[in-house]
Amino acid sequence: MTEGTLIAVVEDDAEIRALVTGLLSREGFEVAACPDGGELDRVMARRRVDLVLLDLMMPGEDGLSICRRLRAAGDVPVLMVTAKSDDIDRVVGLELGADDYLGKPFNPRELLARVRAILRRTREAHRVPAAPQPAVYRFAGWSLDAGSRALADPDGHPVELTGGEFDLLMAFLTHPQRVLSRDQLLDWTRGRSAEPYDRAIDVQLSRLRRKLGDRSDSPTFVRTVRGGGYLFAPQVERG
């Protein structure tokens, strides 16, 4: 996995940047050390970057702005690095489409585990043939074209999904009216190395529910099964 894999470390703190760069280099990764978003742009103009390890709190353009730009420009994976107390920024970053987060100070082994997990997921995705399956899923008046990832509400209006929200909805649509545990959803959407305390699935589920118009007090689509997990209630037709 490490051969030919370029990771961009975007961190304004020179000491931390050197520490992370050295750690990744010793594991066989090629690393581009970037003190700011401008240097990241220059690196990405020359090379394909396989993963961006992005600090959120930086002078000038902050990590949230960089994450937003990366998501608008393409699908390069992003691992956010945040201070332990930055819960709001962490949630906003995940909503913007970051693939995972890691709090400072972090354990080097956990950093490597999360880096490898993201690369494993994205490499698997890259092995999928370019032509997607032309399946269209219909439920309660809604429709999802799995090939184009286009979700439409009962009135035909498009509803935009992040990559994580799409993966989560697909997990439900391919297993309707069945109780899915949180661990199953983590495995299917974030890889088997996702930690049990990983809150990204909670953020994505909350966002997906809101986009589907699910009421928290009486959900129509995704129901919480106490002690079991979650159940996608509507009938699903695949065409």
Dump pLDDT digits (tens) for 136-188.
999 999 999 998 899 999 999 999 998 888 989 998 999 899 888 877 787 67
Q: How many CA atoms lie within 13 A of 113 on its CB side?
A: 12
Which residues on adjacent β-strands are paired with residue 159? 151
Helices and strands (DSSP H and E) totals, the chain: 8, 13
Banded model confidence at residue 46, pLDDT cuts 50, 70, 90 = confident
Cα 236 from Cα 239, distance rounded (Å): 10
Predicted TM-score (pTM) of the model is 0.53
Domain with CATH 3.40.50.2300 in the chain: 6-127
Domain with CATH 1.10.10.10 in the chain: 136-238
- The runs of H, that is alpha helices, within the chain are 14-26, 37-46, 63-73, 87-96, 108-127, 163-173, 182-190, 200-211
Going by CATH, does the domain composed of 6-127 fall within 3.40.50.2300? yes
Query: Looking at residue 36, what is its pLDDT?
Result: 94
* 58, amino acid identity: M
Going by CATH, does the domain composed of 136-238 fall within 1.10.10.10? yes
Banded model confidence at residue 133, pLDDT cuts 50, 70, 90 = low
Residue 222 pLDDT exceeds 90 = yes
Does residue 128 sit in helix, strand or coil? coil
Query: Looking at residue 167, what is its pLDDT?
Result: 87
